[in-house]
């Protein structure tokens, strides 16, 4: 009787969940499967006469593609440097603001502003107002400091530095806010105990603060790494991946291959590669998080 | 290492928190190896005094010396003190062993020696079987012992305890109280102990300071404070329940209350005509003749009866060992031995010797 009632209830529950489940499958799972399928096909709008099953050809081509490895390298540099900068600057700011006895709310509000801007807007205003030669604010400051005019977005290395600065500028406040909240929740008497136990400021930070905010720190790193790996809009608006391919991270390369070169088969394979890399990196970080806390 | 010292001197310590005057110029002398209690109700300044001694608060004015050296503005770490916090303040991410070993690690003790020294300290408070647990996996009593072990592991010059028993249940509190006293004897370190529980202070302290409203109102042995309260404030605070205070007239070596005359032993100091007479509830008895009183309530305390009565509208408590309740509204006669009476000057509020 009872199990039958349960089964009836289970069917009803499944019925209720079904609509949202179907929408989810149609909008997320199906496109993913289609992406995998197309990565094993030749789909090239420029050369439709070659279309057909390609097997592993796209992946073989990827392994031999210099542009692919170049974009992988850029993706690594971009992700590692932006995540490190966000965490270090965000934590530094949070530690400083924690020492302000009153008015912390002001910093919290100011910090939200960059986050709520659309990345494409951020990319555009950095391109036009900050980095533009002659009248960009950053360029003006650099010239004033005597480091000459720099062709920020027009030469390879400064362009890469620029897109890293843009991403860091927009997303450091996120790390700042999360870490500030985490710091504010730490028990004050533990710090008093540490002072009595003769731990100096650096030792208190290293032995008490860092281990205690570790969960928040790891979450910030995971979330920021996943976002940085799939960054697109700000770079696209600021440099479009250029000059040349100097800022073309894997995501932009996949986009260019699919929608500029119109080689959808190879573009899909590149997107699959990005997906696999993102999964591996975040999986590793999640593992590191659980491995040490339990 | 303990070098048989640890004399603490406070002079004119003053502390404000915003508009709140927490300490009003405290003077205090604590002798080496003494078990000294700071007793007072909450907000009286006892914890602030301990935090000033620890170096966690800087006084607005005044000086503090330890063994003659001025440490008023020294960092907590420079004072060679150890402290047990009310909430224990254990490092939540460290094991018991790491918690106890932390002060040693900060002192630069060789890493290989730390587990052994930590275990030694842990065994003194009987938690050496829990070395690999984290604070979250310990009971309140075990956390408290862990905090104690962390405090004694370095053999400090001063041992500071901030209401260490207040978070334990009643049974554990009694046991730990005895152990603290034993621990103090074996360590021979000056120990300063904050409590709002006068029974705790009376039973374990060598001497104590009674705090009221940011001032020290009396310093002395538990016997001094209990049997010779310096002033009305201490008399009204110490004892459970505290002593009865009755206005009286003084004439020819006798006190007159409610028309009844009570002969008193001679005093060395002159006694004014108006006095306040103090008598502990346990020193009052019910007699056939004496001061008339009206019974308000009889309370059964298990081992004794507490009779709440009124003498001319002033509440009086009487503790009786015989367990026989007295009906509300009954009129009884109270008598007591003149030798047990304390006299206070209502003007100066001080004891008349």
Contact A200 B76 (CB under 8 A): no
The answer on B189 and B289 residing in a single domain is no
pLDDT of residue A2: 56
* Last residue in a domain, options B233, B253, B275: B233
pLDDT of residue A127: 83
The answer on B222 and B331 residing in a single domain is no
**B3, pLDDT greater than 60:** no
Helix (H, G, I), strand (E, B) or coil at B244: strand
For the ranges A148-152, A203-207, B300-304, the lowest mean pLDDT is seen at A148-152
The answer on B296 and B198 residing in a single domain is no
Whether B155 is in a domain gets the answer yes
**A139, pLDDT greater than 90:** no
Averaged pLDDT score across all residues of chain B: 89
The answer on B109 and B86 residing in a single domain is yes
The answer on B304 and B261 residing in a single domain is yes
Q: Are strands B35-39 and B81-84 parallel, antiparallel or unpaired?
A: unpaired
Nearest beta carbon to residue A190 from set B81, B83, B89: B89
| CB-based contact B75:B92 (threshold 8 Å) | no
Contact B76 A192 (CB under 8 A): yes
pLDDT digits (tens, 9 = 90+) for B175-206: 888 888 888 888 889 999 999 988 889 889 99
CATH number at residue B278: 2.40.50.140
The answer on B211 and B80 residing in a single domain is yes
Q: Please report residues of B whose CB lies closer than 8 A to that of A196.
A: 54-56, 76-77, 81-83
pLDDT digits (tens, 9 = 90+) for A267-282: 999 999 999 999 999 8
Name the residue range of residue B254's domain: 242-344
Nearest beta carbon to residue B102 from set A197, A212, A214: A197
How far apart are the CA of A204 and the nearest CA of chain B, in angstroms? 10
B291: left (phi > 0), else alpha (psi -120 to 50), else beta? beta
Mean pLDDT of B264-275: 86
**A11, pLDDT greater than 90:** no
pLDDT of residue B60: 93
Q: φ, ψ for residue B231 (rounded to 5)?
A: -155, 175
The whole-model pTM stands at 0.78
Nearest beta carbon to residue A193 from set B89, B107, B154: B89
Measuring CA to CA, which residue among A103, A239, A101, A124 is closest to residue A170?
Answer: A124
What residue of B is the nearest CA neighbor of A202? B106
Contact A192 B56 (CB under 8 A): yes
What total number of domains does chain B contain? 2
Measuring CA to CA, which residue among A287, A175, A279, A171 is closest to residue A220?
Answer: A175
CATH number at residue B82: 3.40.50.300
pLDDT digits (tens, 9 = 90+) for B4-48: 578 999 999 999 998 999 999 999 999 999 999 999 988 899 999
Contact B106 A192 (CB under 8 A): no
Contact B106 A196 (CB under 8 A): no
Contact A197 B89 (CB under 8 A): no
Nearest beta carbon to residue A189 from set B85, B103, B150: B85
Q: Hey, is the C-beta of B90 within 8 angstroms of any chain A C-beta?
A: yes
Q: How confident is the model at residue A294 (pLDDT cuts 50, 70, 90)?
A: very low
**B1, pLDDT greater than 60:** no
Contact A193 B93 (CB under 8 A): no
Whether B353 is in a domain gets the answer no
- How far is CA B285 from each of CA A246, B245, B279, B333, rounded to the nearest angstrom? 99, 16, 11, 8
Contact A189 B54 (CB under 8 A): no
Nearest beta carbon to residue B87 from set A189, A195, A214: A189
The answer on B45 and B149 residing in a single domain is yes
Whether B349 is in a domain gets the answer no
A110-115 contacts at long range (C-beta below 8 A, 24 or more positions apart): A111/A173, A111/A176, A111/A177, A112/A173, A112/A177, A113/A173, A114/A169, A114/A170, A114/A171, A114/A173, A115/A170, A115/A171, A115/A173, A115/A174
d(C-alpha B338, C-alpha B336), whole Å:
6
pLDDT digits (tens, 9 = 90+) for B119-165: 999 988 888 899 999 999 998 889 999 999 999 898 888 999 998 88
d(C-alpha B296, C-alpha B310), whole Å:
7
Q: To which residue do tokens 């210099």 refer?
A: A66
Cβ pairs bridging A and B (under 8 Å) = 59
The answer on B33 and B161 residing in a single domain is yes
| CB-based contact B34:B207 (threshold 8 Å) | yes
What residue of A is the nearest CA neighbor of B54? A196
What residue of A is the nearest CA neighbor of B76? A196
* Last residue in a domain, options B176, B199, B233: B233
- How far is CA B291 from each of CA A50, B286, B325, rounded to the nearest angstrom? 120, 9, 19
Helix (H, G, I), strand (E, B) or coil at A262: coil
The residues, ordered by sequence, that sit 6+ positions from B288 with a Cβ below 8 Å of its Cβ are B333
The answer on B287 and B214 residing in a single domain is no
What residue of B is the nearest CA neighbor of A203? B106
Mutation test of the interface with chain A: which of B57, B76, B156, choosing the one with the most A Cβ atoms within 10 A? B76
Q: How confident is the model at residue A125 (pLDDT cuts 50, 70, 90)?
A: confident
Per residue, the 3-state secondary structure of B165-194, as one string, reads CCCCCHHHHHHHHHHHHHHHHHHCCEEEEE
Say which DSSP state A205 is in: I
Nearest beta carbon to residue B93 from set A192, A203, A212: A212
Q: How confident is the model at residue A132 (pLDDT cuts 50, 70, 90)?
A: confident
The answer on B265 and B319 residing in a single domain is yes
Domain ranges of chain A: 2-39, 66-293
| Token couple for A87 | 């965490």
How far apart are the CA of A3 and the nearest CA of chain B, in angstroms? 39
Whether B24 is in a domain gets the answer yes
Contact A189 B92 (CB under 8 A): no
Domain A66-293 is of which CATH architecture?
Answer: Orthogonal Bundle (1.10)
Positive or negative, the CA dihedral B156, B158, B163, B168 is positive
How far apart are the CA of A195 and the nearest CA of chain B, in angstroms? 6
Contact B91 A194 (CB under 8 A): yes
Helix (H, G, I), strand (E, B) or coil at A266: helix
Q: Hey, is the C-beta of B290 within 8 angstroms of any chain A C-beta?
A: no
Mean pLDDT of A112-123: 88
| CB-based contact B85:B133 (threshold 8 Å) | no
Contact A198 B106 (CB under 8 A): yes
* Last residue in a domain, options B233, B256, B288: B233
Per residue, the 3-state secondary structure of A179-202, as one string, reads HHHHHHCCCHHHHHHHHHCCCCHH
Give me the residues paired with residue B10 across strands: B28, B64
Whether B86 is in a domain gets the answer yes
């Amino acid at each position: 009787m009872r199990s039958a009632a349960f089964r009836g209830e289970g069917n009803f529950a499944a019925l209720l969940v079904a609509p949202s489940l179907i929408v989810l499958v149609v909008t997320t799972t199906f496109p993913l499967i289609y992406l995998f399928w197309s990565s094993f096909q030749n789909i090239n709008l420029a050369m439709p006469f070659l279309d057909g099953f390609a097997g592993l050809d796209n992946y073989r081509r990827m392994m031999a593609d210099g542009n692919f490895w170049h974009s992988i390298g850029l993706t690594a540099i971009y992700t590692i440097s932006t995540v490190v900068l966000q965490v270090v600057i965000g934590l530094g700011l949070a530690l400083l603001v924690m020492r302000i006895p009153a008015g912390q709310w002001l910093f919290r509000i100011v910090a939200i502003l960059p986050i709520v801007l659309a990345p494409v807007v951020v990319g555009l205003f950095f391109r036009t107002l900050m980095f533009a030669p002659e009248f960009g604010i950053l360029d003006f400051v650099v010239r004033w400091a005597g480091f000459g005019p720099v062709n920020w977005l027009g030469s390879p290395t400064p362009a890469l530095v620029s897109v890293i600065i843009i991403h860091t500028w927009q997303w450091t406040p996120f790390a700042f806010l999360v870490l500030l909240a985490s710091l504010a929740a730490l028990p004050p008497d533990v710090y008093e105990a540490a002072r009595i136990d003769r731990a100096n400021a650096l030792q208190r930070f290293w032995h008490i603060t860092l281990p205690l905010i570790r969960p928040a720190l790891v979450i910030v790193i995971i979330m920021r790494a996943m976002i940085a790996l799939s960054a697109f809009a700000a770079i696209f608006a600021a440099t479009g991946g250029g000059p040349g391919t100097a800022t073309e991270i894997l995501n932009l390369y996949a986009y260019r291959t699919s929608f500029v070169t119109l080689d959808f088969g190879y573009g899909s394979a590149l997107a699959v590669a990005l997906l696999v890399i993102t999964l591996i990196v975040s999986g590793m970080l999640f593992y590191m998080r659980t491995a040490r806390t339990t | 290492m303990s070098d048989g010292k640890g004399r603490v001197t406070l002079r004119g310590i003053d502390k404000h928190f915003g508009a709140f005057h927490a300490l009003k110029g405290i003077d205090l002398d604590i002798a080496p190896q003494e078990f000294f209690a700071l007793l007072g109700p909450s907000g009286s300044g006892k914890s602030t005094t301990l935090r000033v001694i620890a170096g966690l608060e800087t006084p607005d004015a005044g000086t503090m010396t330890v063994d003659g050296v001025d440490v008023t503005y020294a960092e907590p770490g420079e004072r060679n003190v150890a402290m047990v916090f009310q909430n224990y303040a254990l490092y939540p991410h460290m094991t018991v062993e790491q918690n106890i070993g932390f002060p040693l690690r900060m002192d630069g003790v060789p890493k290989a020696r730390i587990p052994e020294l930590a275990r030694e300290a842990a065994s003194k408070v009987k938690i050496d079987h829990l070395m690999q647990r984290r604070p979250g996996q310990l009971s309140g009593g075990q956390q408290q012992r862990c905090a104690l072990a962390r405090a004694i592991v370095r053999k400090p010059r001063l041992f500071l305890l901030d209401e260490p028993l207040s978070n334990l249940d009643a049974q554990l509190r009694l046991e730990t109280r005895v152990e603290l006293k034993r621990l103090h004897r074996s360590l021979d370190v000056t120990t300063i102990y904050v409590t709002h529980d006068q029974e705790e202070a009376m039973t374990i302290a060598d001497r104590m300071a009674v705090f009221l409203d940011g001032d020290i109102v009396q310093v002395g042995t538990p016997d001094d404070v209990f049997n010779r309260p310096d002033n009305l404030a201490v008399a009204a605070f110490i004892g459970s329940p505290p002593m009865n205070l009755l206005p009286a007239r003084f004439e020819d070596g006798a006190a007159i209350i409610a028309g009844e005359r009570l002969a008193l032993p001679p005093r060395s100091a002159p006694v004014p005509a108006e006095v306040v007479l103090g008598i502990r509830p346990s020193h009052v008895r019910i007699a056939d003749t004496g001061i008339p009183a009206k019974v308000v309530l009889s309370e059964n305390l298990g081992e004794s009866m507490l009779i709440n009565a009124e003498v001319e509208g002033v509440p009086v408590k009487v503790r009786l060992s015989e367990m026989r309740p007295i009906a509300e509204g009954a009129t009884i006669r109270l008598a007591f031995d003149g030798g047990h009476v304390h006299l206070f000057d209502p003007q100066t509020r001080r004891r008349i010797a």
